[in-house]
Each structure stands twice: as C-alpha cells, then as structure tokens.
Amino acid sequence: MNVDITILIIVFIIGFFARLLSNLAGGGAGLIEAPLLLMLGVPPKITVATRKFSAIGGHGIAAYQFHKFKKIDWKIAIILAAITVIATIIGANILIAINEELIKNLIAIMMLVALPFTFFKKSFGMKRKIVSKSKEISGYVINFFIFILDSFVGVGGGLLSSLSIIIFMGLTYLEINAIRRITGLTLAIVSSIIFTYYGLIDWMIGLFLMMGGILGGYLGANIAIKKGSALVKIVFTIVVILSVAKLLFL
C-alpha cells in the first residue's frame, strides 16, 4: 500500500492516542486503531496484522516502565505469557468458521455482564485479593480462550482479559495493567512472526503506528504508575462502556 506523508503522520497520531489509552485502561487500543486504519483504506486482514506488529513498540516500552517500578507480578505474567504463545499460534492460523460479528457481539455481551462489578463493588480491582487455586486456574483457562479470540478478532480482547484477571485472580487494576503489557508484547511478537510469513503486514504503516505507540505507551504507563489503580479503574470503566456501545450498536 503506497501512502503519502500526511497519511503517515495521521497514523502516528492514531498510534499515540491508542497506546496512551491502552496503557491507562489496560486495553482498548483496537477501538481506536482498527476503525481508523480501515477508514484510511487499509484492508481488514492487513489492519489486524499491522496492528499486532505495531503493538510491539507500545507494549515493549510500557512493560519496561512497569518493570522498572516493580509493578509486574512475574509469576503470573510468565504463566500467562506461555499461555499466550500457544493461544496466539492457534488464533493466528485458525480458519474462522463462525461469523466475525457474532464473535464481537459475544465479547461485548461478556464485558457488559462483568461491568456492574466496577459500579456496585467499590473495592473491585482496588486491592489485591487472595483467591483459591481452582479459581486461579479457571482464570488461566479463560484467558487462554480470550487470547485466541484476540489473535484474530483484535478488538475487546485486552479489556476482557483484564476483567477476567480481576474476577478470577484477584489482582488490582494497576497490577493487571502491568501484566497486560507482558501478555500483549508476547501476543504481538508471536502473531507478527506468523503474519510476516503470510505477507500480511504493511511495514510503513506499521512502523509509524509503532513510533506513535511507543510515545503514547511510555506516557500512559507513567501516568498509570503515578496515579495508581483509582485512575486506571475510571478510565477502564469508560473504555468498557464505549467498547460495548461500539461492538453492539455501531
């Protein structure tokens, strides 16, 4: 795809705001990047593949910042990253047998079901909770399937993963945000290798999207670290509401 400098500047700005939002909310970059790239004329498959490649930058810089300030629970992060590798290989190669819109609607409905927790339980995602081993294992299993969906749907997976980790693993919003950078980086690297093999990445678009994402990811991670779970919860709730509206009604 041949693009002029104006389009590339727009792509850079898209990447900046998408990763800024994602690192404040624990997900949601796809809600900005995917529709805008499609509006710019990038084909759907190229959009998904190029977004995954560009995410390496934003997730990478944010992961470094969260690690620097010791916000990552590496035990959980490593297990989820290993699960992500397997799930991404399956998701990136799977032949989708059901309607993609149905999948997106199911994701939106699941987020809608989980959303009341953020309103009715003030402590939801604010303090670390001890959970049973069986509940924790359930969280890993659920995230395995979420990561598969995220590999080929590309919208809503990060937010849904964050909600499931709070519910089943007892982590805070800030801890989840940090861990999501590790799983997101893993998913981005593995899927990019596969998509490169199939020639689905637009490298110029991807590089400018990545450069914007690195700047936005750095800023977003630092704001989240300084402000803590309270801010992340507010931004997360807003993004989930907008996600549900977009997936169900737009």
- Of 199, 161, 249, give the one whose Cα is nearest residue 49: 199
pLDDT at 247: 57
Q: What is the mean pLDDT of residues 97-104?
A: 55
Percent of the chain with pLDDT over 90: 36
pLDDT value at 246 more than 70: no
Q: What is the mean pLDDT of residues 5-28?
A: 86
Q: What is the pLDDT of residues 158-200, one digit of tens each?
A: 777 888 888 899 898 889 889 989 998 998 999 899 889 888 8
Task: Tell me what the pLDDT averaged over the chain comes to.
Answer: 82
Give CA angle at 126 (31, 15), nearest 5°: 25
pLDDT value at 15 more than 80: yes
Q: What is the pLDDT of residues 51-96, one digit of tens each?
A: 889 999 999 999 999 999 998 999 999 999 999 999 988 887 764 4
pLDDT at 214: 95
In the chain, the amino acid numbered 142 is: I
Q: How confident is the model at residue 112 (pLDDT cuts 50, 70, 90)?
A: low
Q: How confident is the model at residue 142 (pLDDT cuts 50, 70, 90)?
A: very high
Q: What is the pLDDT of residues 200-232, one digit of tens each?
A: 899 999 999 999 999 999 998 898 888 876 777
DSSP class of residue 96 equals -
pLDDT at 113: 60
pLDDT at 146: 87
Q: What is the mean pLDDT of residues 116-122?
A: 56
In the chain, the amino acid numbered 9 is: I
Residue 247's contacts (CB-CB under 8 Å, 6 or more residues apart) are 104, 105, 107, 108, 155, 156
Residue 229's contacts (CB-CB under 8 Å, 6 or more residues apart) are 125, 126, 172, 173, 174
pLDDT at 156: 66
Contact predicate 242/107, CB 8 Å: no
Q: Treating both helix axes as pointing N-terminal to C-terminal, what angle do 74-93 and 133-152 enclose, rounded to 10 degrees? A: 40
